[in-house]
């Protein structure tokens, strides 16, 4: 993300608003701290807490009950999708923004299914990120240009969300989360701990996703997840 130092004005966006409370969850300390500093230059924004992984981020959200939760797509522990899903009923007034330096059509589809308020790529200028926060605080949505392009492709019936053409799209969000963690090398037991599920539940998800994808080994799961850009090689 292009963290520029020039912040003294929000160009009129959000003027007169109450302070928007933000929780920021990202495992990259430099980016997390820099973005927190940038946001807090704006007098209408306040970062009330930061976390470095999905598990501590979820706990922090429950504690702070922020107006906006900014979550990194690729972070250790619980996935951003699991955090959003688990928080929805508990934090009905919190709006969710996803941050990503690495995105795929599958991530975009999962985000849209969860009705997140924003999906921001990390190559955005910091001024635009601040503007996006104000839009979300005002009840609107923001998707970075690269994300918007893929959404338009979906609307034009190009392959992005073709349920029949892409077997991965037959998986539930939970099954995709299990696939992501397994592809990153976690064991069934470790996935259960990360997602706060029983080993039996994770094993059932694993069996179902392997059957749907017609994949039968861990190595093939890893290759498939990399090919589908769910994880990086």
* DSSP calls for the chain: -B--S--S--TTTTTTPPPEEEEEE-S-HHHHHHHHHHHHHSTTEEEEEEESSHHHHHHHHHHH--SEEEEESS-SSS-HHHHHHHHTTT-TT-EEEEEESS--HHHHHHHHHTT-SEEEETTSBHHHHHHHHHHHHTT--EE-HHHHHHHHHHHTT-GGG-TTT-GGGGS-HHHHHHHHHHHTT--HHHHHHHHT--HHHHHHHHHHHHHHHT--SHHHHHHHHHHTTSS--
CATH number of 20-154: 3.40.50.2300
Q: Where are the domains of the chain?
A: 20-154, 162-227
Look over the chain and give the mean of its residue pLDDT values, rounded to a whole number.
86
**pTM of the predicted structure, to 2 decimals:** 0.76
Q: pLDDT band for position 162 (50/70/90)?
A: very low
Q: Which residue has the higher pLDDT, 202 or 227?
A: 202
Lowest mean pLDDT among 14-23, 46-55, 192-201: 14-23
Considering the segment(s) 162-227 as one domain, its CATH architecture is: Orthogonal Bundle (1.10)
10-14, 28-32, 76-80, 90-94, range with the lowest pLDDT: 10-14
Q: Report the pLDDT value the prediction gives residue 231, as an integer from 0 to 100.
A: 82
pLDDT of 96 > 70? The answer is: yes
What local confidence, expressed as pLDDT, does residue 109 receive?
85
Residue 155: what pLDDT?
65
Higher pLDDT, 156 or 143: 143
Region of poorest pLDDT, from 98-112, 127-141, 143-157, 192-206: 143-157
């Amino acid at each position: 993300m292009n963290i520029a130092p020039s912040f003294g004005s929000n160009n009129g966006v959000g003027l007169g608003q109450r302070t928007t409370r933000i929780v920021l969850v990202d495992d990259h300390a430099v980016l997390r701290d820099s973005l927190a500093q940038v946001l807090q230059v704006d007098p209408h924004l306040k970062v009330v807490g930061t976390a470095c992984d999905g598990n501590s981020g979820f706990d922090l959200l429950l504690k702070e009950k922020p107006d906006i939760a900014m979550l990194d797509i690729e972070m250790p522990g619980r996935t951003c999708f699991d955090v959003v899903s688990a928080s929805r009923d508990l934090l009905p007034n919190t709006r969710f923004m996803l941050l990503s330096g690495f995105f795929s059509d599958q991530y975009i589809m999962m985000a849209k299914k969860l009705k997140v308020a924003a999906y921001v790529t990390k190559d955005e200028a910091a001024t635009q990120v601040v503007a996006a926060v104000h839009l979300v605080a005002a009840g609107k949505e923001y998707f970075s240009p690269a994300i918007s392009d893929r959404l338009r492709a979906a609307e034009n019936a190009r392959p992005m969300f073709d349920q029949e053409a892409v077997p991965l799209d037959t998986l539930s969000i939970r099954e995709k989360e299990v696939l992501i963690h397994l592809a990153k090398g976690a064991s069934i037991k470790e996935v259960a701990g990360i997602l706060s599920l029983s080993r039996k539940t994770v094993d059932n998800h694993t069996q179902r996703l392997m059957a749907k994808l017609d994949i039968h080994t861990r190595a093939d799961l890893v290759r498939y997840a990399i090919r589908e850009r769910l994880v990086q090689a």
